[in-house]
Structure 1
Amino acid sequence: MELQSEEVTLAHRYIIGMRVDATNYEDATNRIVTWARRKVGKRICAANVHMAMETYDNPEFAEVVNRADLVTPDGMPLVWGLRALGIQDATRVCGPNLTLTVCEAAARHQLPIALYGGTPESLIDFTNVLVDRFPGIEIACQISPPFRELTPAEDAAYTAQIVASGAQILFVGIGCPRQEIWMAAHQDRIPAVMLGVGAAFNFHSGRVKHAPLWMQKIGLEWLFRLLMEPRRLWKRYFKQNPRFIFLFFRQLIRSPRIDN
């Protein structure tokens, strides 16, 4: 039976100009499975404070995210933002966890998947995790692109490889904002549902530690990641987090609460 959840319009709010949909894991997975069965190009963004600030600072990137087919609240600050703006039952839908729920559904519905991003070693490790956890899952294609801008020939070759594989769900893990821009540029060229999942490959292969659940629930996942990778992340968090707090509270003060 084909799932019909995407026929139901999701409540959403704009948080400092970025659209965030009030979805949950079951709803998001059902939508993805339905779209994948139809073999249509769709884009899913897992939004956090970093993405919100990227959209605030770059109107072109804001258009990329706001025109995605689904924007999930990946970070707890966005969940709190949705609740403050009137969606009291808003819940978190983070990229790494959504990756697993979608992979489980893909195995159950026999939908081939593809992986784009990471290193060759991390893809091998992640593939082993998926095969062990979800017997019968079909991983039709694995690509570890170089950590630089691709040449047009390279991009065309990778795109052709993904299309030829027959993958109906494509996980893209090349980091924000690069992965969201890549998905938008390829939506009309790849007939698959594309999910931007950031560091999910590294999380689930054990190469990067995930924050304890209690830290995730109280919105301190950023602090855990900062402690794990201080040299790479300190500028991002100390620059963006205070700005986000200021901008969102300014939005709350200036805008009336919406209760529907």
Structure 2
Amino acid sequence: MTLPMTEMGGREGVREEHIFGTKIALLDVPAAAAAIMARPVAAPFAYIVTPNAQHLVQLDRGDADFRAAYDGAWLRLCDSQIVRLVARLFFARNLPLCAGSDLTAALFADHIRPDDSICVIGGDAELECRLREKYGLRNLARHAPPMGFMADPEAVRACIDFIETHPSRFVFLAVGSPRSELLACRVQARGRTTGTGLCIGSSLHFITGLVPRAPLWMRRLALEWLFRLLRAPRSHARRVFVDSLPFLYIALRQRLMPGRRSGLPPEER
């Protein structure tokens, strides 16, 4: 069961846009970080997702589990300059950018303190070591599930049990999409722990220097996808051309046929 927003720590006053089949909070990085830090430490577990083109394509294709995970999120933050650009050109909507990587960097740089409780799902020992050394973390717990763990009920249960037995103010889910979102949704549904979950992809690898991120000028020009494609063409080509490119068709369809396959019931459109 999805908890009311007030029970999850509240997000009163957060404006949202319904666009591309989902609702997106109109928060930039500083505002999103402030909202996270305003949640009481003991607030019931709630989680944040970061829509990008790939996510919006998956939602449009009717993935019921992914839709439930998105609908259950506490905040949905715009992760993509491409999504922002299309929203502005097609619909004259101005979505603030709040990329998961930027939000993660801001939290660690400006808000997280060495004694804060942190749980990480994913990554390896090197990632954990770098996080501890760079930020002086003294209360970090990490669990690394096996490859393909979402297809193994025991492995999923082990992840959830680990989060529940290591209650933390910040829970970073670094196992990729849609695994992070689906796992966060299940943790929230059990209702047995606290904290804020962040589905943040490779963000922890960026801030620790394990993986290089696109230079700022490329990010500002909505070319981060190109940087990743050039670095790892074999692994990233499918994500760009198969998983993400159909977003342009979705946007065009919604521009020409408003309301069709919006992802929300008529009374909420």
Indicate whether 1:139 and 2:135 are aligned: no
- In structure 2, distance between residues paired with 1:14 and 1:63: 17
Q: Structure 1, residues 219-245: CA drift from partner, whole Å, max 9, x if none? A: 111010011111111122112343111
Q: Distance in 2 between matches of 1:173 and 1:189?
A: 21
Inter-CA distance 112–82: structure 2 relative to 1 (3 Å threshold) = farther
Partner residue in 1 for 2:6: none
Aligned mates of 2:87, 2:41 — CA distance in 1: 30
- Stretch moving more, 148-157 or 173-182: 148-157
What is the CA–CA distance in structure 2 between the aligned matches of 1:9 and 1:193, rounded to whole Å? 17
Match of 2:50 in 1: 46
Q: SS of the counterpart of 1:171?
A: strand
Q: Which position in structure 1 is the counterpart of 2:214?
A: 211
8 Å contact from structure 1 (residues 159, 189) kept in 2: no
Alignment map for 1:2-41 (pairs within 5 Å)? 6-15=11-20, 17-41=21-45
- Alpha carbons 2:17, 2:24 under 8 Å: kept: yes
Which residue is 2:113 aligned to? 107
Structure 1: distance between partners of 2:165 and 2:10: 29
Question: What TM-score, normalized to structure 2?
Answer: 0.82
- Aligned pairs for 1:55-204 (under 5 A) are 55-60=59-64, 61-84=66-89, 85-88=91-94, 90-103=95-108, 104-107=110-113, 111-131=116-136, 137-149=137-149, 151-187=152-188, 188-204=191-207
Q: What displacement does 1:155 show?
A: 3.9
SS at match of 1:37: coil
1:138–1:19 Cα change, 3 Å: farther
Equivalent residue for 1:134?
A: none
Q: How does 1:226-241 map to 2 (within 5 A)?
A: 226-241=229-244
For 2:228 and 2:24, how far apart are their aligned partners in 1? Answer: 23
Q: How many angstroms does 1:82 deviate by?
A: 4.1
SS in structure 2 at match of 1:115: strand
Q: Structure 2: how far apart are the matches of 1:126 and 1:240?
A: 31
CA contact (8 A) 1:116 1:174 kept: yes
Question: Against the structure 1 CA distance between its residues 53 and 130, is the aligned structure 2 distance closer, same or farther, given a 3 Å change threshold?
Answer: farther
CA shift in 2, pair 1:93/1:153, >3 Å? same
Contact kept in structure 2, 1:36 and 1:169, CA below 8 Å: no
Residue 172 of structure 1 and its aligned partner are, at CA, apart by 0.5
How many pairs are equivalent?
Answer: 245
Deviation at 1:79, TM superposition (A): 1.9
1:141, distance to aligned residue in structure 2 (A): 1.2
Q: For residues 8 and 86 of structure 1, do their structure 2 counterparts lie closer, same or farther at Cα, with a shift above 3 Å needed? A: farther
- State the alpha-carbon separation in 1 of the partners of residues 73 and 10 from structure 2: 17
Work out whether residues 172 and 197 of structure 1, in 8 Å CA contact, stay in contact via their aligned partners in 2. Answer: yes
TM-score, length of structure 1 as denominator length: 0.84
Residue 36 of structure 1: CA displacement? 4.6
Shift of 1:203: 1.4
Q: Structure 2 CA distance, aligned partners of 1:10 and 1:38?
A: 25
- d(CA) in 2 for partners of 1:166, 1:67: 20
Distance apart, 1:145 and its partner CA: 1.7
The answer to which structure has the higher helix fraction is 1
Mapped to 1, the partners of 2:223 and 2:183 lie a distance apart of 29
Question: Is the alpha carbon distance of 1:158 and 1:248 closer, same or farther for their aligned partners in structure 2, counting shifts above 3 Å?
Answer: closer
**1:135-174: per-residue Cα shift (whole Å, max 9, x none)?**
xx54331122222226544444443333333312101000
Kindly indicate whether the alpha-carbon contact (under 8 Å) linking 1:21 and 1:70 is maintained by their aligned counterparts in 2: yes
